[in-house]
Amino acid sequence: MHSSPDEYEVWPGSPAPLGAHWDGTGTDFALWSAGAHAVDLCLFDDDGTEHRLRLRENTHQVWHGRLPGVGPGQRYGYRVHGGWDPSSGLRHNPAKLLLDPYARAVDGDQALHPALFGFRYEGGEGPDPRDSAPYVPRGVVVHDSFPWDGDRSPTTPWSDTVIYEVHVKGATIRHPDVPPALRGTYAGLAHPAFIEHLQSLGVTAVELLPVHHFVSEPHLLRRGLSNYWGYNTLGYFAPHAAYSSSGTAGQQVTEFKAMVKSLHAAGIEVVLDVVYNHTAEGDHTGPTLSFKGIDNGGYYRLREGDPSRYQDYTGCGNTLDVRRPQVLALLMDSLRYWVTEMHVDGFRFDLAAALARSMHDVDRLSAFFDVIHQDPVVSRVKLIAEPWDVGPGGYQVGNFPPLWTEWNGQYRDTVRDVWSGARVGVRDLAYRLTGSSDLYRSDGRRPFASVNFVTAHDGFPLADLVTYERKLNEANGEENRDGESHNRNWNCGVEGPTDDPQVTALRARQVRNHLATLLLSTGVPMLTAGDELGRTQGGNNNAYCQDNEISWLDWADVDEDLRAFVARLVRLRRDSPVLRQEAFFEGHELPDTGGTRDLAWFAPGGAQLDTAGWFDTGLQTIGMYLDGRGIRHRDERGRPVQDDSYLVQLHAGAEPVTVHLPGAPWADGYEFVVSTEWTTVAPPRPTVVAPGPIEVPPRCVWLLRVLRRP
């Protein structure tokens, strides 16, 4: 590495591709900025010494240069000269070191200091003159010839997919079987001890909370906290450096790839939760770290009539302006990079409705979706939308176009309502149990467009959903004002932990009820890491800033019966195609069956549910009949798929109820497969019952296999 500015020679280089790219003899640097008057490339020695080099070439708004002899491991950043007029949206300030938006790796932490801010934070006019370089992270030139050795994506079909939403650090930071040096890292997630847990559960994909490099918001740093979840992205190409066990001078890239390769070898796909709707720079009072100082008006949606402020559809201070070609190119370049270079299998888009906004309205045909659909790389991986943002009209469940699946917020709300005792009836529940055809069928999508979930990282974990009715977020330092106050939950009659054995048993059954409902529903189930272990956050339902035992998985306190319950339900789902249909049910009579249907609904009295029953908001008991002879998809060779038939009996009432199990032609008998009254999913002994009256315990789910005489 060069040690003095006299040794550097800047050649013209090339304006494409953007970022820093080493070719074996030197590195090309290229940065887009439409509003810059001049750009300095800043190189840093290992001791922090800075060398500023003016990039004199500007081609189509791209500032570029080539440095012979500069190679992998080189730390760098930019200083951009230009106009300073916040009232016009101009925020150039060469005193601020800026991270390359295309940096492949990031080194160094952000430290809270007034120099982070482009303006005079203590008041006054004009740009702040203090040098931010000592307090901000730098980009790193990376060259990684990773030995993929035939790595292949599992490419699990959507209808076979079971998602496990997990935090890289929280998964293994307390895992006793993961070596201490690897805990909480990409290597920890790839360790056999954790992969074996995933395989034992039967999940087919991990959905990682954000791994794009992120920093903590200044307001958290002032309170001695940090951003744990990671929804505060600074670098869209760089794996988050703090999750690396091997170093941050490019080693994090290799370690991430090794993690993906290990998960693929275990048959597990890797889906990234990505935050392309806003950045870590916040609103007009936020720090200047990258985009804001490179081209503020080029990257962000500024408020009409007052470009000194940002249009905020995200609740995080700013919104990236995907209407602009350069921003759209950044997002697409990033997505393609993670698929082609990092081998990930899909993306979950945080606040995806914000990306769909052409002007103020959410536009299903916005440029972002058009580009995704025609892209030969990105269109072929799993695409999951969080179909809402915080702006007007931002709740868009069911309105994303084909190719997209969605986090089904209506599924979550309905299932929680049912098990919390809300008088909502069974009509909406029936839609949710069978793939939400009311939301996804009209535009040609399939049941797997619905990603079903009861809990996620945001909110109570499942154990807390049945333990607390009031959030306990005081540790976040916001006087318990943050987090959702209406959680559609029930504490089983006692607030918080209790030694009462009846309440404890009821809570455990309610957890099983939620999980059984989820895993017996048509669609794509998503489990939240730790729910299968009995994890609690002590009543905190917004643990985004709790990088501690509140959030981490506690492997010393595992509910083994619950883990076995989840694993057996997932196996049952995997082995039963009737439980993971690829086409919506028709409800039609099946030929040569004596009058059964592919899907039928039964009232407690044994008759098929009538119109009055559908609209009876007090009805808390329903039977869902699934005929395995009516499956409409075929196997890979075009042969009809057949399966056992099942009756799912769901009773959410507080008292036992007598139901009549339907007889011929529906069944000649039934065999218990699942009952949530049992602490494990397996019945204590084989149990066969005849059609006719039978008492269902309070708050219970049964899965009964249909028996037919030969």
pLDDT at site 476: 97
If you count them, how many residues does the chain have? 710
State how far the alpha carbon of 233 is from the alpha carbons of 429, 641, 653, in Å. 37, 45, 45
Q: Which residues contact 380 (CB under 8 A, 6 or more apart)?
A: none
Q: pLDDT category, 126, cuts 50, 70, 90?
A: confident
SS3 string, 41-65, reads EEEECCCCCEEEEEECEEECCEEEE
Give the integer Cα–Cα distance in Å for 386 and 165: 14
Give the integer Cα–Cα distance in Å for 208 and 298: 30
Tell me which residues are annotated as active site: 350, 386
Tokens of 705: 């296999």
Quick one: CA torsion of 390, 393, 398, 399, rounded to 10 degrees? -120
What are the tens digits of pLDDT across the range 633-670? 888 888 889 999 999 999 999 999 999 999 999 999 99
Mean pLDDT along residues 208-234: 97
The CATH number that domain 587-707 falls under is 2.60.40.1180
What are the tens digits of pLDDT across the range 10-60? 999 999 999 999 999 999 999 999 999 999 999 999 999 999 999 999 999
More confident residue, 555 or 395: 555
Helix and strand counts by DSSP (H, E) for the chain:
16, 31
Q: Which residues contact 61 (CB under 8 A, 6 or more apart)?
A: 32, 33, 34, 326
Mean pLDDT of the chain: 95
Give the integer Cα–Cα distance in Å for 197 and 553: 13
Domain ranges across the chain: 19-141, 587-707
Phi first, then psi, for residue 416 (nearest 5°) are -65, -45
String of DSSP letters for 603-620: -TTSSBP-HHHHT-TT--
Q: 19-141 with 587-707: one CATH topology? A: yes
Q: Is 468 exposed, middle or buried (0-12, 13-18, 19+ CB in 10 A)?
A: buried
Give the integer Cα–Cα distance in Å for 346 and 593: 41
Task: Name residue, tokens 């440029």.
Answer: 367
pLDDT at site 122: 62
Give the integer Cα–Cα distance in Å for 280 and 584: 41
pLDDT at site 165: 98
pLDDT for residue 97 is more than 70: yes
What are the tens digits of pLDDT across the range 511-544? 999 999 999 999 999 999 999 999 999 999 999 9
Report H helices in 466-581: 501-519, 560-575
Q: pLDDT category, 4, cuts 50, 70, 90?
A: very low
pLDDT at site 365: 59
What are the tens digits of pLDDT across the range 536-567? 999 999 999 999 999 999 999 999 999 999 99
pLDDT for residue 3 is more than 60: no
Task: Name residue, tokens 């939760």.
Answer: 273
* Omega of the bond leading into 656 within 30 degrees of 0 (cis): no
pLDDT at site 681: 65
User: Among 3.50.50.60, 2.60.40.10, 3.20.20.80, 2.60.120.620, what is the CATH number of 19-141?
Assistant: 2.60.40.10
What are the tens digits of pLDDT across the range 292-316? 999 999 999 999 999 999 999 999 9
Phi first, then psi, for residue 77 (nearest 5°) are -160, -175
Give the integer Cα–Cα distance in Å for 555 and 147: 33
Task: Name residue, tokens 């189509």.
Answer: 60
pLDDT at site 640: 87
Strand partners, 364: none
pLDDT for residue 362 is more than 80: no
Tokens of 452: 């079903």
Nearest CA among 197, 186, 205 for reference residue 526: 205
Strands 306-310, 346-349: pairing kind: unpaired
Q: How many CA atoms lie within 13 A of 418 on its CB side?
A: 30
pLDDT at site 70: 97
Q: Can you give the pTM of this predicted structure?
A: 0.97
Strand partners, 76: 43, 139
Give the integer Cα–Cα distance in Å for 132 and 96: 5
CB atoms within 10 A of CB 409: 17
SS3 string, 405-443, reads EEECHHHHHHHHHHHHCCCCCCHHHHHHHECCHHHHCCC
